[in-house]
Amino acid sequence: MQMSARYWGVLLVLCGAIFLEGIDVAMLNVALPSIRAELGMSTGELQWVMSAYVLGYGGFMLLGGRAADLFGRRRMFVFWLSVFLLFSGLGGFATEGWMLIAARFVTGVAAAFMTPAGLSIITTSFAEGPQRDRALLIYSGTAAGGFSVGLVVGGLLTAVDWRWVFFAPVALSAVILVAALALVPKSPRPERAGQGVDLGGAVTVSAAIVLLVLGVERASHTGVGWTVGTLAAGLAFLAAFVAVERRVANPLVRLGILRRGSLVRANVVGLLFAAGFFGFQFLVVLYLQELRGWSTLETSFAMIVIGVDAILSPTLTPKLVDRFGNARVIFGGLLLAALSYAMFLPVGADWTYPMMLPSLIILGLGFSLAYGPLTIVATEGVEESEQGLAGGLLYTSFQFGAALGLSGATAVNVAATDSTTPTALLDGYQAALTVPLATALLAVTVGAFGLRGRSRAKPAPPTATVASASDRVETPVNP
């Protein structure tokens, strides 16, 4: 399963981009208190710094994935990486809260187009099977590593000046952009003769996802009426989108792709897994900083152990997938995530770090088993012309799940905390920790249905596999 230097170069560029996206989000999380202090932002305004990115990212991900299929994967990747670079830098020059919020929204939109384009370049460049699986597992491990490294780097940069949290990604994205122009081969614009762009579908689906993410993201900060109205409007746009897609000759999203049981299951599990993962991390950070009084940097170093998945995803996970198949490996990862949340549930006000460590390590292991194989299942067997769409669907599920998990954990935490005493804070955290546990158990239930079908066939004998991979490597990459 050897890959040529050219293939490694393409993979390196794409891993750099997903690492950039992860490190950007993680560093901003750490810098929020410093940003509020300098720009004089209220808590509600500060929350919009994160929400604006989530809205841009989640709201346009599906459109971004399809745009890669229609207009060229390399073209979309390079263009939106440039936009990401520009607006990340502009965020560092913000002197008012609204400037930073606007910059983060556009940065999120850029990531929504760039990320599925990068994923589809991998899935169309590497032969389906062991070679593609290996590339995707390296890719997913790099994404996790970016988030873990970002927690620590963000703490260090914020100690100097929070604006470096925005300037640092500019330097990294500039390097990735130059490398992409040099290493990712050009490809002709996809043939679209006689195919019009589905503007109606693009507008309705983007409006639907933006409103649904907005409703979930703001649920714990606004009244019930506003939340219900926003979600209802999102569902109405979603219904309009389905109606449009059924009528147009060349839909933005071919609804028939949702008949693939494995694809739908991977997206549902991905949504639930992301909800638990991000909700849990959010609560642990609150526990360490608000109740225990740990500094931002201490918290970052405590959480970095979850980043063990950056090492395990490209090393251990491929071996397990080869032996047991994607469905069993995903199921094992979901079980480990549920175990991790359950172990942290009885957290006390005097827990030492060694008492927390097993839960954090098990979560990192669970992530390494679930995330990469989910990416494989969500794109496996999909036609090359729809790989961008498949990637967009998966990342939309992840993003919506993250918003759902954060909102649900926050709502339960606020409802269960009746004062600011240590006992009340601890009661609130323990109550809210049931949210990630519940979503993990639901993910386990859905994931179990994947065990009923046949596992992916074992790869061909080594000689045949190597020959096939070698043949693939010698053909030009055609993203």
Which CATH number does the domain housing residue 30 bear? 1.20.1250.20
Q: Could you list the residue range(s) of the whole structural domain that residue 72 is in?
A: 1-185
141 and 288 in a common domain:
no
Residue 473 falls within a domain, yes or no? Answer: no
Quote the pLDDT of residue 354: 95
Question: How many Å apart are CA 133 and CA 416, to the nearest integer?
Answer: 43
Q: What is the 3-state secondary structure (H, E, C) of 340-395?
A: HHHHHCCCCCCCCHHHHHHHHHHHHHHHHHHHHHHHHHHHCCCCHHHHHHHHHHHH
Q: What is the dihedral of CA 301, 32, 154, 99, to 10 degrees?
A: 170
48 and 154 in a common domain:
yes
What's the predicted TM-score (pTM) here? 0.81
206 and 117 in a common domain:
no
Please list the ranges in the chain whose pLDDT falls under 50: 1, 193-194, 454-479
Residue corresponding to tokens 């560029």: 13
Length of the chain equals: 479
142 and 261 in a common domain:
no
Q: Which of 185, 208, 239 is the last residue of a domain?
A: 185
Residue 470 falls within a domain, yes or no? Answer: no
Residue 462 falls within a domain, yes or no? Answer: no
Residue 162 falls within a domain, yes or no? Answer: yes
236 and 278 in a common domain:
no
244 and 292 in a common domain:
no
93 and 159 in a common domain:
yes
Residues 315-347 have pLDDT tens digits of 898 899 989 999 999 999 999 999 999 999 999
Q: How far apart are the first and last CA of the chain?
A: 20
Residue 194 falls within a domain, yes or no? Answer: no
140 and 247 in a common domain:
no
Query: DSSP string of 85-145?
Result: HHHHHHHHT--SHHHHHHHHHHHHHHHHHHHHHHHHHHHHHS-TTHHHHHHHHHHHHHHHH
Q: Which of 160, 185, 210 is the last residue of a domain?
A: 185
10 and 51 in a common domain:
yes
Q: Which of 156, 185, 214 is the last residue of a domain?
A: 185
Quote the pLDDT of residue 191: 63
Question: Total domain count for the chain?
Answer: 3
415 and 326 in a common domain:
yes
Residue 467 falls within a domain, yes or no? Answer: no
345 and 236 in a common domain:
no
Quote the pLDDT of residue 193: 47
258 and 229 in a common domain:
no
